Amino acid sequence: MSFFVKGIFLEQKKEPMLTRSTLVMRQEFEYFDCNFPDVAIDELSREQIIELARLAEIVDESDGKMLWEKLEKSNLGEGGTFIVDAVDDEPYISSQMSIGIHQPEKLALGIELCERVLSPEKTYIAMYRHILDSNFGIPKKIGKYHVKKIGGRYPAESRVHRHIPKGKNSVIIGACAMLHLARAAEESRKMTSCFITVAGDVVKNPRNVEVPIGTTAEKILELCGLTEEPEAIILGGSMTGRAIFEPENEKVGPMTRGIIALARSYGTYSYTCIGCGRCDDACPKALSVCAMRKFADAGKLDMLMQYDVSMCIGCGACSYVCPSRIDISATLLKAKKQIELAKKEGTL
């Protein structure tokens, strides 16, 4: 059975963040000097575009890699596909989708610049289509670029590759990185900020915000306001993020997708496993999650390797469906790190 039929459907909570314009925190921008300042944007060469990405110090939010390095190593050519990641399939999170909706010209320019470097046969923007809490329609095109609406069960990111011809090369780059590249070309502006969704049932003014990299979670929550003291604050998405307890000390970075503040924490207590098997059914990789959690608890790293724990993508679907509220995803992630350490030390 293909793992694409696995996974779960998640209730999306993207409003009012998605349709509101981005709230920008006041900041001092940084700029760079280059040796080709008078070259028109539509005449920039492949090497010059890569240099712009390097000087701007752009980090791709989809994987944390430097954009200039990804561009320098890639030349797709015939049959190659360039995918702009604006999927945002987790509940609450819409920081990438918002770029295409509220700054489509910047996104289109960033894509055009990358196309000149990558020379793909096909280019498209990927967005999640199951936004049932919004009346907003996902656009069919942004600029001259088609938007592919990715559907199905979470995590939808895995279905992005279904649109790539078998055996052909592809490159995936985040929408926020595209915007930063456009700014680098137009303004010689460095990437010193990141885009974050601030949401949750105690957030007074839920929005997508642009804030300086290194801003504390506390200051970002102050920007949007709280109606009451949250019991839980999650840094990142509600599925793959982590609970934080000192927001004044937690800083956001290029890969931080959201800050979720909730009145009630569902991770404060849990029950024992009842063996229902829902975690197995939810796993998009069709892994034996229930068995792996037991091996992880028992410290049987060799058995975890036999059960292919390395294939776990950390999507959090197993934790989401667990009726006992066991954080299975965190347990497996910890076990994977233990395996990596044991291999380095030569004990496994």
At 165-200, the pLDDT tens digits run: 666 789 999 999 999 999 999 999 999 999 999 999
**Percentage of the chain exceeding pLDDT 90:** 76
pLDDT of residue 115: 96
> CA–CA separation, 204 vs 222, rounded Å?
10
- What ranges do the domains of the chain cover? 3-13+28-187, 193-262, 278-345
Neighbours of 277 (CB within 10 A): 11
Phi first, then psi: what are they for 118, rounded to 5°?
Answer: -85, -25
Neighbours of 142 (CB within 10 A): 24
pLDDT of residue 318: 94
> CA–CA separation, 295 vs 227, rounded Å?
42
pLDDT of residue 308: 94
Q: Look at the alpha carbons of 180, 185, 186, 188 in this order and tell me if their dihedral is positive or negative.
A: positive
pLDDT of residue 190: 97
What letters, b where the CB count within 10 A reaches 16 and e where it falls short, cover 222-259? ebbebeeebebbbbbbbbbbebbeebeebbbebebbbb
pLDDT of residue 238: 86
CATH T-level topology, domain 193-262: Ubiquitin-like (UB roll) (3.10.20)
Residues of the chain with pLDDT under 70: 1-5, 158, 163, 165-167, 265-270
> CA–CA separation, 29 vs 57, rounded Å?
13
pLDDT of residue 193: 97
The alpha carbon of residue 200 and the mean position of all alpha carbons in its chain are separated, in whole angstroms, by 18
Angle, vertex CA 88, rays to CA 87 and CA 91, nearest 5: 145
Measured N-to-C along each axis, helices 104-118 and 175-187 cross at an angle, to the nearest 10 degrees, of: 90
Sheet holding 120-128: strands in order across? 141-142, 145-150, 120-128, 77-86, 170-174
At 127-166, the pLDDT tens digits run: 998 887 777 788 999 999 999 999 888 888 767 777 676 6
Domain 3-13+28-187: give its CATH code. Answer: 3.40.50
Neighbours of 102 (CB within 10 A): 15
> CA–CA separation, 196 vs 138, rounded Å?
20
